[in-house]
Structure 1
Amino acid sequence: MNALYHCISKYHSIPSGAWDALCKTLTKVEIPRNSFLVKEGMVCNNLYFLEKGCLRGYYNLDGKEVTYWFGFEDNFVTSFYSFISRKPSVENIQALEDSALWSISFEALNQLFDAHKDLERLVRIINEQYYIRLEERFMAMQFKTARERYEQLIENSPHILHRISLGQTASYLGISQETLSRIRSQG
């Protein structure tokens, strides 16, 4: 839980009473490689903090898996659409490595918001950061070439190339595996 406290402190400091209340509501979740945290069609009831491991978010399109995010240590993850709207998820969240997470339910989180405004502010800041990353990704997919997206990946997240399969990386970049291989061989 130290990793969670350290991560939270980067966003917003919270009083010890709020931290204690949060800790009482958290549940440790461990999932093995290749298992699912969320499956398409189910309502996602939890927000997670990824303490150890690697997850990917993907959806199915015409029989193909389209990866659109990866989560690593010290990331908050969930099916945001489903978690917030309380509607069935359109995505799958799969463990790519054995993973350890801390979980809080939608209901518990909202009860904490009512009691501790600092936690509400913290989650708002985390959501804002998520939105910024989402918009950056959208702009990259719309306005950058495949090579530029690959170079941006190397610059901002080089660990992805060591932990994620070539096919999933290519899907994330919105290109074929062959195109990714060609870009990598060109230096």
Structure 2
Amino acid sequence: MKQLFEHLQFFYQLTKEAQQALEASFEHIVLPKNEFLVTEGKICRRMYFLQQGCLRGCYNLDGKEITHWFGFENDFVTSFHSFITQEPAVENIQLMEGSVLWAISKEALTALFNKHHDIERLVRIAYEKYYIRLEERYVNAQFKTATERYENLLLERPHIIERAPLGYIASYLGISQETLSRIRARL
């Protein structure tokens, strides 16, 4: 829990009362590798703080898994569309390593928003950071070559290359594993 609150201070400083209320609302969870936090077709009712481990968000498209994001230590993770709208998720979130997480339910978070406006501000700032990452990812996918996307990954998020299988990385970059191997060989 200490790691969570140290991380939150980078976003916004909570009052002591808000911090205590938030702390009481989180549940500690330890899950093994390959476990799913969210599965498509089910409503995502929790947001998670990833204390230790890594995971990926993926879609099934015509029987093929497409990895579209990764989460690592100190990331907030959820199926944001499902969590916010309370509609069934269209994605899966799978652990790539055994992980330690802190979970908070949608109901608990909404109740905290109503009582502690600094928590609402904190989560808004976290959502903004998520949106910026999403937009950067979109721009990379639309306007950069496969080689440029891989080079950007090497520069901006090398930990993905160190911890994710090549098949997931290729899918994330929108290329085949063979193309990724050729790019890596050239570089």
Q: Tell me the TM-score normalised to structure 1 length.
A: 0.99
Report the RMSD for the aligned CA atoms in angstroms.
Answer: 0.5
Q: Which residue of 2 aligns with 1:184?
A: 184
Q: How far apart are residue 6 of structure 1 and its match?
A: 1.1
CA distance in 2, matches of 1:140, 1:161: 17
CA distance in 2, matches of 1:138, 1:177: 20
Q: Which residue of 1 aligns with 2:25?
A: 25
Q: How far apart are residue 29 of structure 1 and its match?
A: 1.1
Cα deviation code 1:56-91 (max 9, x no counterpart): 000000110000000000000000010001000000
SS of the aligned residue for 2:76 comes to strand
Q: Tell me the TM-score normalised to structure 2 length.
A: 0.99
Q: Which residue of 2 aligns with 1:154?
A: 154
Cα deviation code 1:3-40 (max 9, x no counterpart): 10111000111011100000101001111000100000
Residue identity matched to 1:46: R
Q: How far apart are residue 47 of structure 1 and its match?
A: 0.6
Q: Which residue of 1 aligns with 2:127?
A: 127
Q: How many residues align?
A: 187
Cα deviation code 1:109-154 (max 9, x no counterpart): 0000011000000000000000000000001000000000000100
CA distance in 2, matches of 1:31, 1:95: 8
CA distance in 1, matches of 2:9, 2:81: 26
The 5-angstrom pairing of residues 14-163 of structure 1 reads: 14-163=14-163
SS of the aligned residue for 1:59 comes to strand
CA distance in 1, matches of 2:112, 2:159: 35
CA distance in 2, matches of 1:106, 1:29: 16
Q: How far apart are residue 161 of structure 1 and its match?
A: 1.0
SS of the aligned residue for 2:158 comes to coil
CA distance in 2, matches of 1:114, 1:34: 36
Residue identity matched to 2:57: G
**What percent of counterpart residues are identical?**
57
Residue identity matched to 1:162: E
Displaced runs of 4 or more, over 4 A: none
Q: How far apart are residue 159 of structure 1 and its match?
A: 1.0
Residue identity matched to 2:97: E
SS of the aligned residue for 2:14 comes to coil
CA distance in 2, matches of 1:156, 1:6: 23
Unaligned runs of 5+ in 2: none
